[in-house]
Structure 1
Amino acid sequence: MSFMITNSNLLMQRSMEYLWTKQSCILNNIANIETPGYKNQYVTFEDSLEKAIQNAAQKSKCTSSSFRQAIEDSAVEVHQADESARMDDNGVNITEQAVELARNGYQLQYVMDAISSDFSLLRTAIRG
Structure 2
Amino acid sequence: MLEDVTSSAVRIALKGLAQRQRVIADNIANIETPGFLAGRVQFEEALRTAVTSGSPDKAASAVRGVQPGVARSLEPTRENGNNVNLDHETLSHMDTVLRYQTMLKALDAKYGQLRSVIRGGA
TM category, shorter = 0.7 to 0.9
1:1-128 map, 5 Å: 1=1, 4-52=2-50, 56-57=53-54, 63-128=55-120
**Contact preservation (8 Å) 1:84, 1:92:** no
Aligned-pair CA distance for 1:5: 2.7
CA separation in 2, counterparts of 1:51 and 1:64?
Answer: 13
One-letter amino acid matched to 2:34: P
Runs of at least 5 residues in structure 1 that lack an aligned partner in the other structure: 58-62
One-letter amino acid matched to 1:68: A
TM-score of the superposition, structure 1-length normalised? 0.84
- Secondary structure in structure 2 of the residue aligned to 1:104: helix
Deviation larger for 17-26 or 77-86: 77-86
| Structure 1 residue ranges (4+ consecutive) displaced by more than 4 angstroms after TM superposition | 50-54
CA separation in 1, counterparts of 2:60 and 2:110?
Answer: 18
Aligned-pair CA distance for 1:123: 1.0
CA separation in 1, counterparts of 2:95 and 2:8?
Answer: 22
**Contact preservation (8 Å) 1:43, 1:77:** yes
Residue 48 to residue 84, structure 1, CA distance change in 2 (3 Å)? same
Aligned-pair CA distance for 1:44: 0.7
- Secondary structure in structure 2 of the residue aligned to 1:78: strand
**Contact preservation (8 Å) 2:9, 2:51:** no
Paired residues, number:
120
Higher helix share: 1
**Contact preservation (8 Å) 2:20, 2:40:** yes
Residue 119 to residue 46, structure 1, CA distance change in 2 (3 Å)? same
Identity %: 27
RMSD (CA atoms): 1.7
